Amino acid sequence: MNTVNQPIPKIDAQALTTGKGVYTDDLAPANCLIVKVLRSPHAFAKIKSIKTDAALKVNGIECVLTYADMPKIRYTLAGQSYPEPSPYDRYILEDIVRYVGDPVAIVAGRDERTVDKALKMIRVKYELLPPVIDFEQALDNPSVIHPEADYFNNFPIGGDVKRNLLASGGHSGGDLDAVFSSCDIVQEETYYTKANAQAMMETFRTYTYLDHNSRLTVVTSTQVPFHCRRQIARALGLPKSAVRVIKPRIGGGFGAKQTLVSEMFPAVVTMRTGRPAKIVYTRQETFAASNSRHQMRVTVKVGAMKDGTIRALDVYALSNAGAYGEHASTTVGLVGSKSIALYTPEAYRFHYDVVYTNTMAGGAFRGYGATQGCFAVESAINQLADRLGLDPAEIRLKNIPKQGAAMPAYLDGPLSSSRLDECIRRGMEMIGWKEKFGICRSDGKTARGVGMAITMQGSGIANIDTCAATIRLNDNGFYTLFIGATDMGTGCDTILAQMAAETLHCPMERITVDGVDTDHSPFDKGSYASGTTYLTGMAVVKACTELCEKIRRQGALKLGISLSQAAFDGDQVVSTLDPAQAIGLEPLAQQLVVGDGEWLQVTATHSSPVSPPPLMAGFADVEVDLGTGKVRVLDYAAVVDCGTVINPNLATVQAQGGIAQGIGMALYEDIQYNPQGKMLNDSFMQYKIPSRLDLPDIRVEFAPSYEPSGPFGAKSIGEVVINTPSPAIASAIFQATGVICRSLPATPEHILLGMAKKQGGAGA
Amino acid sequence: MKVKIKVNGKLFDKHIPNDMMLIDFLRKYGFYSVKRGCESSNCGLCTVWVDQKPVLSCSYPAARADGHEVTTLEGVLPEAEVFGRVMASMGAEQCGFCSPGFVMAVLALKREIPNPTEEQAREYLAGNLCRCSGYASQMKAVMQYLKEGYQ
């Protein structure tokens, strides 16, 4: 292969590394009204009155909007295919506020200073309601967070909103009780994972304007332009044809931008005033008034034999949706389906409840529930190995499904491609597992330990995700690849162009990539669920294959030869019988737009009945300071089977970046609230993400299988990479100190207190 | 108030609000490379130079730059392009939003510490956060670039 599997630099690299103004806020016109939002200081309250007259008198204020000005249309902000499995539980503004940060009023004016002044002059009287902050107290709490009569779901998701129950469900296979009763050992443990902030570097931002046809144009930093268009039209009560969404370069998303966050506010201002409007979220708002990873409690019951054979797995998850239900019923599903399926139990059960609380809504964050499930189930397997006196890596090798195996707990198909066993074996070599595991490595001041975990994700959502691509031969013999997939820094524009170049037998330079503008891009569900490489990639391959055929046909016509005799090698259409009979691509393309020609363009659509899992093994070598409990990750080695690697550089950096976020989740990241529901750590000062001093040189290798249903054998890479650090690091800490971390993050306090308790010391 | 600030060699003689921060001054006059990532001086995205020394422009009053020379990424482009290519050859820029501040910090490091060890480079660049890359490819790019620069 010439371009696929090559470490090609990103096609937008030059613009990005030289600071060109290519992001939303760089492109917004200077005459935009500045939009800001007055937010609730209370976690749960009814608005008794809002006085806006003084604010409206501030010189330069264009409008101050409250719930009284908003359409009474319930909608969801979740960027999912219709019908969304997320409840329609929001108004743009409502007379009830459900978390500290919920919008109360929208103010637009000439500049930031003017708007800030007006915001301070709005007087709101609240009737305070008792908030539900602790998600373990939410179910059947007397405080009902969504009492509204017009709350609705597109289809049943197992909720009972009067009980604060948003969703419930599960699936099972085999006779669980019978298998448990015949196991040598049955272990049950409960784990906690916290809400984490996606913390992409570019905060949420959007600008809007009316075009010459009075259509609302929304330029926004989003992962889901087409879902954006649909939801904005719904929430504002506009026809879908009246909304156009454009996505420029995005400064990271990690799932945060799979929910609409900033879009509605300037949109409503533009519709009200007819003027361009812009909102740029502060970092504080981005932390405290957007969405996060869902906080969860996961109980894992595992039944096994003394030799390490895992025979039964029973997993229950309680998930905290927060105040609104975006992605709540779907993230929780991955907790079980993407963790249990890594083993081959005779019987399994997975069930879950999702509850509302008066905290910021959860949303999508890389890993999307699989991360929480991975921490719980992998930690449980590590603990099981310890109880049985077995090597945790060997227990995996003994129990993982082989390529071709059915995976009953995974609802999206069999294991069509896997080299997970090789991922584990190679990871063991990289970290020095045999030399380090089970060996006490302490100098009295520090202690070291190694730990490991395995994981899987999906590649798109089976039978739901739909992605299209359009490839066009332009009149000069170069191609334009139109995509609706959203490059958010991941490099999907580049890897899709690589696939196009490979299929069209041409160099990368001959392909320009265009996206995304809902007015001319082909439909794509957007970049989430690890679907872009696998699904949009296949659409690209299909479209380019068909375009090759069209070029061949046109070439044959021009040459006056039969189609069976014509070959297209990327540069020319040539007769297989007489090489002298040939027409170059450029003259052919030129002739096709002069006189009786044909403008060659192909759109292909792809979806998949399966979601083949990428697989991975992660190994951590950590050092614990025995005096302070501080943990340092000294080495992290990961081996990934993402099928064929389309771009080794970009895939490696995806993996390193995902592991870094996973290390943050394992050791630092924890969104905390005070008892009144105010977020305590809504800045980078207080919410620590790993810096370059906190991380080792994360080592990544690939063990590529060949996925028959993927483009060039590829599966996905984007999400699977975040999952292994928390269980691997927790296990390494256990080995170093004997302290079990069942609740993330593994803080120095927990470790130190745990060590003190083990020694029977004070403070335990 | 009135300020005279030279940005990338060009004088800006302007009336500004007293409390204007340097980042807002720079973006107002079209230096869009300068990015804001936080408002608590933690992320390093807004790094520019004042008199060749890196500062965080989000917390640096524009008034303080009165009479001084400010350099943004736009002002060091040929040099930045070279480092940019090294970064891109490793896929280290990812979303690119932190790149301008990071590149300014790397070029400042190059001026301040000749032939740094990787540990020194890490320390120097610690204030530049990146959520995409996990830093490994960035550090590889930095060390390769600096090594080539001193050959």
B48, B90, B94: best mutation site toward chain A, by most A Cβ within 10 Å? B94
A109 and A254 within one domain? yes
Contact residues on chain A for B143, CB-CB shorter than 8 A: none
Task: State the average pLDDT over residues A492-500.
Answer: 98
CB atoms within 10 A of CB B125: 25
Asked if the model's pLDDT at residue B4 lies above 80, the reply is: yes
Last residue of a domain, one of A560, A590, A606: A606
Question: Number of helices and strands (H, E) in chain B?
Answer: 5, 5
Question: pLDDT tier at B148 (50, 70, 90 boundaries)?
Answer: confident
Q: Does residue A281 belong to any structural domain of this protein?
A: yes
Please, which residues have CB within 8 angstroms of residue A328's CB and are 6 or more apart in sequence? A86, A166, A167, A294, A319, A321, A354, A361, A362
Measured between CB atoms, does A488 come within 8 Å of chain B?
A: yes
B56, B81, B93: best mutation site toward chain A, by most A Cβ within 10 Å? B93
Last residue of a domain, one of A270, A288, A306: A288
Asked if the model's pLDDT at residue A715 lies above 50, the reply is: yes
Does residue B7 have a cis bond before it (omega within 30 degrees)? no
* Amino acid at residue number B87: M
Task: State the average pLDDT over residues B6-35.
Answer: 98
A643 and A520 within one domain? no
Task: Provide the domain limits for residue A673.
Answer: 295-460+610-758
Residue A244, H or E segment:
strand A243-246
Express each pLDDT in B36-49 by its tens digit. 999 899 999 999 99
Q: B103 and A652 in contact by Cβ < 8 A? A: no
Q: Does residue A259 belong to any structural domain of this protein?
A: yes
Q: Does residue A566 belong to any structural domain of this protein?
A: yes
> Which of A502, A602, A32 has its CA nearest to residue A279?
A32
Measured between CB atoms, does A224 come within 8 Å of chain B?
A: no
Question: pLDDT tier at A40 (50, 70, 90 boundaries)?
Answer: very high
Contact residues on chain B for A17, CB-CB shorter than 8 A: 80-81, 83-85, 87-88, 93, 96, 99, 103
Q: Does residue A734 belong to any structural domain of this protein?
A: yes
- Contact between residue A26 and residue B32 where contact means Cβ atoms under 8 Å apart: yes
Contact residues on chain A for B98, CB-CB shorter than 8 A: 201, 251
Spatial separation of the C-alpha atoms in residues A238 and A232, rounded to whole Å: 8
Spatial separation of the C-alpha atoms in residues A307 and B120, rounded to whole Å: 49
Asked if the model's pLDDT at residue A763 lies above 50, the reply is: no
Please, which residues have CB within 8 angstroms of residue A585's CB and are 6 or more apart in sequence? A473, A477, A551, A570, A571, A572, A573
Express each pLDDT in A228-238 by its tens digit. 999 999 999 99
Q: B96 and A282 in contact by Cβ < 8 A? A: no
Dihedral angle sign, alpha carbons of residues A236, A237, A242, A244: positive
- Contact between residue B130 and residue B98 where contact means Cβ atoms under 8 Å apart: yes
Q: Does residue A388 belong to any structural domain of this protein?
A: yes
Q: Quote the minimal CA–CA distance from B143 to chain A in Å.
A: 13
Task: State the average pLDDT over residues A112-131.
Answer: 98
Task: State the average pLDDT over residues A638-659.
Answer: 98
Overall domain count for chain A: 3
Residue A405 in tokens = 């195996």
Contact residues on chain B for A284, CB-CB shorter than 8 A: 39
User: CA geometry: angle at A653 spanning A652 and A654, to 5°?
Assistant: 90
A677 and A745 within one domain? yes
Predicted local confidence at residue A197, as pLDDT: 98
Which of A13, A488, A692 lies closest to B84 in CB terms?
A13
Per DSSP, the three-state class of A565 is helix
Question: pLDDT tier at A440 (50, 70, 90 boundaries)?
Answer: confident
Q: Quote the minimal CA–CA distance from B94 to chain A in Å.
A: 5
Predicted local confidence at residue A720, as pLDDT: 98
Asked if the model's pLDDT at residue A650 lies above 60, the reply is: yes
Measured between CB atoms, does A307 come within 8 Å of chain B?
A: no
> Which of A478, A562, A465 has its CA nearest to residue A512?
A478
How many beta-carbon pairs below 8 A join chains A and B?
180
Predicted local confidence at residue A761, as pLDDT: 54
Contact residues on chain A for B132, CB-CB shorter than 8 A: 201, 252, 489, 653, 657
A590 and A547 within one domain? yes
A627 and A594 within one domain? no
Which of B37, B40, B126 lies closest to A201 in CB terms?
B37
Q: Does residue A244 belong to any structural domain of this protein?
A: yes
Q: Does residue A123 belong to any structural domain of this protein?
A: yes
> Which of B54, B56, B50, B59 has its CA nearest to residue B5?
B50
Q: Give A 76-115 residues with CB within 8 A of chain B.
A: 113
A725 and A580 within one domain? no
Predicted local confidence at residue B150, as pLDDT: 54
A659 and A571 within one domain? no
Express each pLDDT in A368-411 by its tens digit. 999 999 999 999 999 999 999 999 999 999 999 999 999 989 98
Please, which residues have CB within 8 angstroms of residue A506's CB and are 6 or more apart in sequence? A479, A570, A571
Name residue A619's beta-bridge partners. A452, A637
Q: Checking phi first, is residue A474 left (phi over 0); if not, alpha (psi -120 to 50) or beta?
A: beta
A552 and A626 within one domain? no
Please, which residues have CB within 8 angstroms of residue A515's CB and are 6 or more apart in sequence? A247, A482, A483, A484, A485, A486, A487, A493, A521
Write down all domains in chain B, each with its CATH number in brackets.
2-72 (3.10.20.30), 75-149 (1.10.150.120)
Contact residues on chain A for B96, CB-CB shorter than 8 A: 12-13, 15-17, 249, 251, 489
CATH code (residue A268): 3.90.1170.50
Task: State the average pLDDT over residues A741-759.
Answer: 96
A738 and A592 within one domain? no
Express each pLDDT in A672-696 by its tens digit. 999 999 999 999 999 999 999 999 9
Measured between CB atoms, does A406 come within 8 Å of chain B?
A: no
For all residues of chain B together, what is the average pLDDT? 96
Which of B35, B40, B93 lies closest to A684 in CB terms?
B40
Q: A695 and B136 in contact by Cβ < 8 A? A: yes
Last residue of a domain, one of A243, A270, A288: A288
A549 and A687 within one domain? no
A694 and A663 within one domain? yes
Burial of B59 (0-12, 13-18, 19+ CB in 10 A): middle
Asked if the model's pLDDT at residue B91 lies above 90, the reply is: yes
Task: State the average pLDDT over residues A357-367.
Answer: 98
CATH code (residue A487): 3.30.365.10
Measured between CB atoms, does B82 come within 8 Å of chain A?
A: no
Which of A13, A200, A652 lies closest to B131 in CB terms?
A200
Burial profile A307-336: b = 16 or more Cβ within 10 angstroms, e = fewer: ebbbbbbbbbbbbbbbbbbbbbbbbbbbbb
Q: Does residue A134 belong to any structural domain of this protein?
A: no
A738 and A590 within one domain? no
Measured between CB atoms, does A180 come within 8 Å of chain B?
A: no
Does residue A83 have a cis bond before it (omega within 30 degrees)? yes
Asked if the model's pLDDT at residue A762 lies above 80, the reply is: no
Asked if the model's pLDDT at residue A185 lies above 50, the reply is: yes
Measured between CB atoms, does B143 come within 8 Å of chain A?
A: no
Question: pLDDT tier at A608 (50, 70, 90 boundaries)?
Answer: very high
For all residues of chain A together, what is the average pLDDT? 97
Residue A385, H or E segment:
helix A370-388
Task: State the average pLDDT over residues A748-760.
Answer: 93
Contact residues on chain A for B35, CB-CB shorter than 8 A: 23, 201-202, 251
